[in-house]
Amino acid sequence: MRWFWIDRFEEFVRGRRAVALKNVSLAEEHLHDHFPGMPLMPNSLVVEGMAQTAGLLVADAIEYARRVVLAKVAAAEFHFDAVPGDCIRFEAEVLDLKPTGSLAKVVSTVGDRTQGEAELFFAHLEPGDGVPQLFEPQQLLRWLDQMHMYDVGRDEAGQPLARPDW
């Protein structure tokens, strides 16, 4: 399955920090299974939103030269469940960025309450045999445009991000 678990970026500072939003809607099919009569967002999907926010931040930092893959959830703690009607805000920060991998911290909040916290390790894989290309570059750019990444994205000097010319 190829899908994004975030609705849009609110802030994006290349190689440092990103803030993304996910609106939890009762229209989402998985909420009817978790749990009938009392729907809630499974924390595994909250981790997916965290990983996508931080993963796109890391991928952009390395100029999409390698595949960024969630390799390990080093730590995760959840304080309450997100439910339909909530807007989850994912705040990701790159803690360490190396050629072969990176570490990010992500905090999810609902309103002014901390919903969850996680440290995520990403592997950076060389494209080629055994490492599939998940998206066509133009398709990925369209999705990033729809999430407003290039509308809010800035480099460390505060200049707008240039859209890659793939």
User: What confidence tens digit (pLDDT) does each residue in 120-149 have?
Assistant: 999 999 877 677 777 788 888 899 999 999
Q: Which CATH superfamily is domain 8-143 in?
A: Hotdog Thioesterase (3.10.129.10)
**Does 148 participate in catalysis according to the annotation?**
no
Provide, rounded to the nearest whole percent, the portion of the chain with pLDDT above 90: 75
Q: Binning pLDDT at 50, 70 and 90, where does residue 32 land?
A: confident
Question: What tokens were used for 4?
Answer: 């994004």
Question: What tokens were used for 151?
Answer: 């509308």
Q: CB burial class (10 A; 0-12, 13-18, 19+) of residue 143? A: middle
pTM of the model: 0.93
- Whether 137 contacts 166, CB under 8 Å: yes
What per-residue confidence (pLDDT) applies to 1?
A: 36
Summarize the confidence of residues 87-101 as an average pLDDT: 97
Annotated active-site residue in 30, 34, 79, 148:
34
